[in-house]
Structures are given as structure tokens and as C-alpha cells.
Amino acid sequence: MEKNQYSIFESELAVRPDDIDMFNHVHNSKYLDYVLAARYEQMDKHYGMSWEKFTELGYGWVVTKVSIHFKRPLLMGDAMLIKTGILEMSEKGCTVQFEITNKKTGKIASDGTFEYTMIDLHTKRACKVTDEMIKAYSI
Amino acid sequence: MEKNQYSIFESELAVRPDDIDMFNHVHNSKYLDYVLAARYEQMDKHYGMSWEKFTELGYGWVVTKVSIHFKRPLLMGDAMLIKTGILEMSEKGCTVQFEITNKKTGKIASDGTFEYTMIDLHTKRACKVTDEMIKAYSI
Amino acid sequence: MEKNQYSIFESELAVRPDDIDMFNHVHNSKYLDYVLAARYEQMDKHYGMSWEKFTELGYGWVVTKVSIHFKRPLLMGDAMLIKTGILEMSEKGCTVQFEITNKKTGKIASDGTFEYTMIDLHTKRACKVTDEMIKAYSI
Amino acid sequence: MEKNQYSIFESELAVRPDDIDMFNHVHNSKYLDYVLAARYEQMDKHYGMSWEKFTELGYGWVVTKVSIHFKRPLLMGDAMLIKTGILEMSEKGCTVQFEITNKKTGKIASDGTFEYTMIDLHTKRACKVTDEMIKAYSI
């Protein structure tokens, strides 16, 4: 992962049997769900401004772009470490890098980037990220 | 849950954000996946005859009937305890009872029963559960 | 399916590749999603009171009980016919029977019943089904 | 979409209610499943060398990279057109471009690219795409 001024946080997650597909490995689209699960946990635990806090304020984060590389398949029974960190954050949104490592082998299963925009939950339209939010996430 | 001669085991699981549906609670079909995740863990941890062991032997467990009661919704961020225990086990298969409790409130989110049949992974047809397997699971 | 005073409607749906699990057949919990998809279509097409209409009025239908029998697996590439019909409808909610048939073989893949309660989308609590709604669905 | 020497094919698909997430629009990872569903259909219908044919030969296609842009959300009840076409095909695999259009509005919901590698289903390792396969897909 790229080292920069932003912190990198780590979450742990286990493959759920319903994530397995016809190839007997984790289905490709589930990796996006794993990254969401990690960010969700880290928003609360590390940034001190949880998903629920944004919801209360009337905001939500939606994904606008994903670039993902599937390197080594995760299998039934595997556990993973999911590192994520901010690459860029501005009033327009933020870009997050991630890396999913197989806990057993220590090898990278998948990595890539997510771009997020903040939306107003009522209008469902993109809106500006406030200075306070940028500050909370600039750690 | 019904108390009988079989042990009851407990697993812990967290709601994953992708489990949430249009009502902002866990989607109904995901509860079946939670029970599968709990059984998968307990097969290895408590019965000493894991899912993978069955796979190696050329067998798999498939669900033939589910009866499930949705009592109180699980929400984003919730953690749950999933208790399961055998109600009946024979060469024809087994019936498992389950109860999912919201960890925060201690209240039952869902309960019910699953009936399983063992299949031969090559023929994909139902087959007899052996005495050895019944013994391993009769704890 | 049980014949009674209520109509039985049919929807067609194709298995989606992401529905396939480690056994190379449709994952058990996906059948619940198929029934939801069929009811969603039929609410609009046959009852003339769509899901969206309920949403506009501030109501939603949530599942309280499912009893489902998995008879024959659906496979990658299969198409299915999903018949559903009301078994009971009152101000407390309704019970719906369903039957999923493999289009290729004409054989039943799964059948069972769903019990639904209507909730107020704001309070998220169960509420009474109005006479007008019962009438719309009593065809 | 980029015009090149390869054909562009189109599939139609409807949003399934279980695809909807906490924002009341289609969950981001489901778009990857939609592209898979379209390719699956088109492999059989247009290339004359179906997914099942590859399976019989002992091969499967797995995704190695996805780049996806989420432009406008798909909602409950929406239908979509999914165009896909090959950008590059060699013995190492292929790159496919896609574009998902909302059938109602005619506007692009999502676009991007998928990179695939062919694996041997027994060894689960990448293997060479044969000339015959490349020829079948070079239309």
C-alpha cells in the first residue's frame, strides 16, 4: 500500500460460507463487500465519526469508482486482514486504498482503490464534505 | 430452544453492511446464511468433524427444509449470538434448531429449524450418514 | 399448490450466476429472494397495488415466517416459473404460498409459505392492513 | 463504449429486490454480478461456446481485475441493458468492456472493464487460452 500522510487501519473478517461461488472460492463481488465492512468498522473505531453519525446528520457515502485486482483466491474457512487508508480527501469526496491479506498465508488476496462521494440522504444527490468531516478523517 | 440429549453450541457473528436491505435492516434471506456460518464453525470447533473433512470424504450437507421465524430485526452494526443444536440425527440426515440473539439487547432476533441431507459430491444424490458420523455428532 | 378463493399468479426468472454456491447449484437462501422477486412483480402486475404504492403510502411488507422445502436443485443456466397465491389475508397480514418449478424439467424445485406483516416505514412497527388493501389483494 | 474489431452484444436484466441496499438503490457490488450474468448469456447465445462448454472441457473464467464507474444509481423496479464487448483477447486471457444502461431513462448507470484469466478447474491455476477459443471469441 502507498504510504502517505494518512493512517492505515486494519480490520479482520472471516469468509462466510455463502460468499463461496461455483469455483469453490470467494465470489469476486464479495471483495467489495469486505472492503465496505472494513471501512464501516474503521469509521467508528478509528476516525471517531461513524457511519451512523453521518446517517444522523443526513449523509451517506456512496461508491463512484472501484479499481480492484484479484490476486489470489480466498477459500472457504479463510480469515483475512483488510487494511485501508485514505489516499485523497477533499470537499468532493475521498479515495481509499485497500489491501486484503489472507491471514493464513500472509499473502495478498486483493488490492485496489475505492472512490467515494458523500450524498444527502434526502435528495440522494452528491454534496460537499465539510471541513469538520475532512478534519476527522485527516489522521 | 428445546433442551434434549444433544449439545447446544454458540457462535458470534457481526452483521455485514451488505446484508442490509431497503428497510435498513438485515435482509430476511441472510439469516439462513448466518445459520450456515454458525454450523460451519461449530462442525470444526465442537464436533471435530469439519465441513472440509466431509468434503475430503466426498460428502456435503445440503438443506432440504427450513422453518424460520423472524422476530426482531437486526440492524446495521449489530452483533449476534447464534446457538444451534441437533434435534434429530439418523442415517437419513439431521434436523438442527437455531436461535439468533441480538448481542446488544439479548433478545431473540430469529429462531427455527433446518433439515439437512448428506449428498455424495460426485453423484449429487442423497446418501446414508454413516455410524461414525452420527457418533461424532451425537454429543 | 392449494386451490382456494385467491388467484395464483406466475412469474418467470432466470438463475443468476452469482446465485450458485459451493455445490454448483443455487444457494438455499436465494430461493427466498426469488419468491420476493415474484411477489414484487405480481403486486404491480396483477394486484394493481404495487410495492412502490405501499412505499408512497408509508408502508412496507416484511417477512415474519418462512417455511420452505428444497426439493430439487436449480442449476447454473436454469430458468424457473414462480407461482404464488394468497392463503390468508387479514388486517394482521397475509400468508402466501409459493411453488418454484424448473422450466426445463417441469419439476418442482421448491415450495412453501411466507407470512408477511405490514410495517409503518417511519416507526418500523407492525400496523393494520386497511380494508382497501385487503380488497385489492382479495382477487 | 470503445468501437473496435470485436462485436458488442446486449443482454437485458431486471433489478431483483434483494439487490437493493440501505440507500434504497442497487448495492455497488451487484453491478459486477450483472456483468457476469450478461457475459454468461452472451457466451452461449453469441459466441457459440458457452460457459458450460468450458466447464466440460475442464476450464473456467475468473476475474483478475475490475475497473468500474458507478454513474447513476439503479433503483428497485428498474430494468437495464448490459452491453459487453471484447477489448483484447490473447492466450493469456481477455479484457471485456461493459456499459449498463437504465432501460427507462436510456442513461448510463455504470461502465468499466473486466479482465479475465482462464483457469484449469482441477489445478485451479491459470492456463493458456487455445487458438480455437480465441477464434470463437474473435467475432
- Chain C hits for B22, CB-CB cut-off 8 Å, are 60
**CA–CA gap between residue D24 and residue C55 (Å, rounded):** 11
Stated pTM of the model: 0.97
**CA–CA gap between residue D107 and residue D90 (Å, rounded):** 32
Q: How sure is the predictor about C48, in pLDDT bands with cuts at 50, 70 and 90?
A: very high
Position D87: which residue type? L
pLDDT digits (tens, 9 = 90+) for B88-114: 999 999 999 999 999 999 999 999 999
C21, C29, C76: residue with CB nearest A20: C21
Closest CA of chain A from B17, distance in Å: 6
Closest CA of chain C from D130, distance in Å: 24
Considering chain D, what percentage of its residues have pLDDT values greater than 90? 100
pLDDT digits (tens, 9 = 90+) for A92-120: 999 999 999 999 999 999 999 999 999 99
Does residue B101 contact residue B83 with C-beta atoms inside 8 Å? Answer: yes
Instruction: Give the residue numbers in A contacting D (CB under 8 Å), as ranges.
Output: 22-23, 25, 28-30, 32-33, 36, 60, 62-71, 73, 119, 121, 124
User: What would the DSSP string read from start to end of D33-99?
Assistant: HHHHHHHHHHHHHTSS--HHHHHHHTEEEEEEEEEEEE-S---TT-EEEEEEEEEEEETTEEEEEEE
pLDDT value of position D64: 98
Closest chain C residue to D19 measured between Cα atoms?
C33
**CA–CA gap between residue B37 and residue B43 (Å, rounded):** 10
In this structure, what are the phi and psi dihedrals at residue A92, rounded to the nearest 5 degrees?
Answer: -85, -15
The DSSP call for residue A126 is B
Residue with cell string 442415517: B91
Other residues' Cβ atoms within 10 Å of the Cβ of residue B94? 20
CB atoms C32 and B33 under 8 Å:
no
Grid cell at residue A35: 472492503
Position D4: which residue type? N
- Chain D hits for C51, CB-CB cut-off 8 Å, are 17, 76-77
In chain D the domains, ranked by start, together with CATH numbers, are 8-137 (3.10.129.10)
- Chain B hits for A33, CB-CB cut-off 8 Å, are 16-18
Closest CA of chain B from A18, distance in Å: 6
Q: How sure is the predictor about C12, in pLDDT bands with cuts at 50, 70 and 90?
A: very high
Q: How sure is the predictor about A52, in pLDDT bands with cuts at 50, 70 and 90?
A: very high
- Three-class DSSP category at A30: helix
Position A88: which residue type? E
CB atoms A18 and C24 under 8 Å:
no
Instruction: Give the residue numbers in C contacting A (CB under 8 Å), as ranges.
Output: 17-18, 20-22, 24, 27, 29, 76
Q: Is the dihedral of CA C89, C7, C41, C24 positive or negative?
A: positive
pLDDT value of position B40: 98
pLDDT value of position C30: 98
D22, D66, D124: residue with CB nearest A68: D66
Chains that touch B (3 or more CB pairs under 8 A): A, C, D
- Chain C hits for A24, CB-CB cut-off 8 Å, are 22
- Three-class DSSP category at B51: helix
**CA–CA gap between residue B130 and residue C8 (Å, rounded):** 43
Instruction: Give the residue numbers in A contacting C (CB under 8 Å), as ranges.
Output: 17-18, 20-22, 24, 27, 29, 76
pLDDT value of position D61: 96
**Helix (H) and strand (E) counts for chain C?**
3, 5
**CA–CA gap between residue C7 and residue D100 (Å, rounded):** 36
Q: How sure is the predictor about A48, in pLDDT bands with cuts at 50, 70 and 90?
A: very high
- Three-class DSSP category at C114: strand
pLDDT digits (tens, 9 = 90+) for C59-111: 999 999 999 999 999 999 999 999 999 999 999 999 999 999 999 999 999 99
pLDDT value of position C61: 96
User: What would the DSSP string read from start to end of B59-93?
Assistant: EEEEEEEEEEEE-S--BTT-EEEEEEEEEEEETTE
Closest CA of chain C from B123, distance in Å: 11
Q: Which of A94, A29, B11 is nearest to D19 (CA)?
A: A29
- CA gyration radius, chain D: 15
pLDDT digits (tens, 9 = 90+) for D28-73: 999 999 999 999 999 999 999 999 999 999 999 999 999 999 999 9
Q: Which of B91, B96, B93 is nearest to B130 (CA)?
A: B91
Other residues' Cβ atoms within 10 Å of the Cβ of residue A110? 24
- Chain A hits for B33, CB-CB cut-off 8 Å, are 16-18
C16, C36, C40: residue with CB nearest D37: C16
C25, C65, C69: residue with CB nearest B68: C65
CB environment D96-134: b (16+ within 10 A), e (fewer): bbbbbbbeeeeeebbbbbbbbbbbebeeeeeeebeeebe
Q: Which residues pair with C33 in a beta bridge?
A: none
C16, C52, C77: residue with CB nearest D52: C77
pLDDT digits (tens, 9 = 90+) for B10-32: 999 999 999 999 999 999 999 99
Mean pLDDT computed over C25-54 = 97
**CA–CA gap between residue C105 and residue C83 (Å, rounded):** 16
Does residue C27 contact residue C73 with C-beta atoms inside 8 Å? Answer: no
Distance of CA A100 to the CA centre of its chain: 10
- Three-class DSSP category at A60: strand
Closest chain D residue to C44 measured between Cα atoms?
D77
Position A62: which residue type? V
What average pLDDT does the structure give for chain B? Answer: 97
Q: How sure is the predictor about B85, in pLDDT bands with cuts at 50, 70 and 90?
A: very high
pLDDT value of position B118: 96
- Chain C hits for D37, CB-CB cut-off 8 Å, are 16-18
pLDDT digits (tens, 9 = 90+) for B32-49: 999 999 999 999 999 999
Q: Which of D58, D112, D120 is nearest to D82 (CA)?
A: D112
Does residue A83 contact residue A101 with C-beta atoms inside 8 Å? Answer: yes
pLDDT value of position D38: 98
What average pLDDT does the structure give for chain C? Answer: 97
**CA–CA gap between residue A23 and residue C89 (Å, rounded):** 43
